[in-house]
Structure 1
Amino acid sequence: MPRDSVELEVEGAVATIRLDNPPLNTLTGPMRHALKEAAEAVAARSDVRAVMLCAAGERAFSVGSDITTFPHDAVEGRVVSESEHAAYRALESLPQPLVAALRGDVLGGGLELALTADLRVADAEARFGLPEVRIGVFASGGGTQRLPALVGAGRASLLLLTGRAIDAGTALAWGLVSQVTPVGQAESAARELAEELAALPKLAMSATKRCVREGLRRGREAGEAAEIAAIAEVYASRDAQEGARAFLEKRAPRFVHR
């Protein structure tokens, strides 16, 4: 696999989507297209029950787009932005839980990519920011929408409007990441988390993710309606029946993911 690419691997019930453009894993047009294709391929696989998003190299998860490739007119700018949004939307819409392993610089479009994950595991030395305003543009790959939903409008605006970066400890305190690991352990911890999620009942996991997203997008009333519709189907599943029996019989459940 050449550099400037995206790798997709499946091991057991966990798929791994890996950026491979070190040292900074800058995102190119072909890579965005490949991310979308990888997400669509994973979404269609019934054997994949969790996904990990990570990157090659030690210096950065991704610093976003290469400045030298920025569009020079409105038409080209729209094309690039639509491609970026399509890729990130495909990842965010995965039915499987998505865990991101983050280390080094997680900046600009790299942070916007990480925001598509359900859970983010960060290396203790990771750094997070949206510096686009400092070069005359702004975080237009979903950053103005996903970040406020995650950390609140005030904290999001501090990063979006100043271009400042925060460290992993601050990211954890703000809820931007779910876990901080010792240096060099983010990917292994993310893998363990993905395997834990993959072992849990598939229908309950996908329903939980769908309801969370629906509430964030359309408000609490829509989220509660989604819960009612989803739980009716989940209650009828073989795994729900098995889970209840296992609890009453005081044994570990044997889920079949149906």
Structure 2
Amino acid sequence: MSQLVHVEVGDGSEGSLAGVATIKLDRPPMNALNTELQEQLRAAAAQVSADPAIRAVVLFGGAKVFAAGADVKEFAGQDHAYMTRDAHRLTSALDALARIPKPVIAAVTGYALGGGCELALTADFRVSADDARWGQPEILLGIIPGAGGTQRLPRLVGPAKAKDLIFTGRFVAADEALEIGLVDVVVPRADVYATALAMAAKFAKGPAIALAAAKAAIDGGLDGDLASGLRLEAHLFASLFATEDRAIGMQSFIESGPGKAQFT
């Protein structure tokens, strides 16, 4: 089996950031998301989720391209019966990344199209190169997004804008992606990875359990009604009073004011 996904964990040495891991795609030239790559992404998600030394994660496709979509040649050979069995595996592979209980930043260069866009949507934040192109062009193949695009995209940009992108299959430039809320930061291509690492480094210094709880509360609340979300929030809020970070944060606030706590 080829190594199509690498997990690089910073240790604080020169050129690396302690507590920050990079999940890097490595299937040139376009990082097409074939079955093998999807399963390696699932394994990478499990690895970074389980490692307590990893406090934040960057998804990166390399300096030239993030991911230009699914492997269409692989899809073309699959019939309805096969895909009926396999569709859940495809969805769950990317969902494993969305469920990483740590802040995740997608660093996007080149193209984030189809499955590549859906991959970026699993992150909490998206840093885009100013010349990157985004889109869900599956409709041009006679299909629809099948790895979260019809669900995560409208939650992020609203149903009307998501329908525009999915119904037309058009590509979106970085400036429009920023305007509609699809991306959070736009920088020159050469600065994309460094910008994402800097964002991740800030989160890596924060209270890991509280950050995981905040992510679970927000993501879980979006899946249900307001009352259910409020119950989830109350449960997670109360649970944090059992953590050492809560004691450290409150004592630091009382003694030195906000923003100076050194969390463990």
Q: TM-score range by the shorter chain?
A: over 0.9
- TM-score norm. by structure 2 comes to 0.92
C-alpha distance after superposition, 1:64-96 (max 9, x if no partner): 112211143112223442222111111111111
2:109 pairs with 1:110: no
- The answer for the alignment partner of 1:254 in structure 2 is 262
Does the 8 A contact of 1:130 with 1:160 survive in 2? yes
SS at match of 1:62: coil
Distance 2:82 2:193 in 1: 35
Distance 1:178 1:103 in 2: 14
Distance 1:15 1:75 in 2: 38
- The answer for the alignment partner of 1:32 in structure 2 is 38
**How big is the alpha-carbon RMSD for the aligned residues of Structure 1 and Structure 2?**
1.5
- The answer for the alignment partner of 2:172 in structure 1 is 166
- The answer for the alignment partner of 1:151 in structure 2 is 157
Does the 8 A contact of 2:127 with 2:196 survive in 1? yes
C-alpha distance after superposition, 1:214-248 (max 9, x if no partner): 11111322221111001111133221121122122
SS at match of 1:8: strand
Question: Counterpart amino acid of 1:245?
Answer: Q
SS at match of 1:228: helix
- TM-score norm. by structure 1 comes to 0.94
- The answer for the alignment partner of 2:9 in structure 1 is 10
2:144 pairs with 1:138: yes
C-alpha distance after superposition, 1:165-222 (max 9, x if no partner): 1111111111111111123211110011111111001111001000011111113222
Task: Give structure 2 stretches of 5+ with no counterpart.
Answer: 11-17
C-alpha distance after superposition, 1:26-51 (max 9, x if no partner): 11111000000111111111111111
Distance 1:85 1:157 in 2: 20
Distance 2:141 2:30 in 1: 18
Distance 2:93 2:156 in 1: 20
Does the 8 A contact of 2:62 with 2:109 survive in 1? no
Distance 1:39 1:24 in 2: 21
Worse-matched range after superposition: 232-241 or 183-192: 232-241
- Percent of aligned pairs sharing the same letter: 38
Question: 1:58-69, aligned counterparts within 5 Å?
Answer: 58=64, 60-69=65-74
Distance 2:49 2:148 in 1: 21
SS at match of 2:256: coil
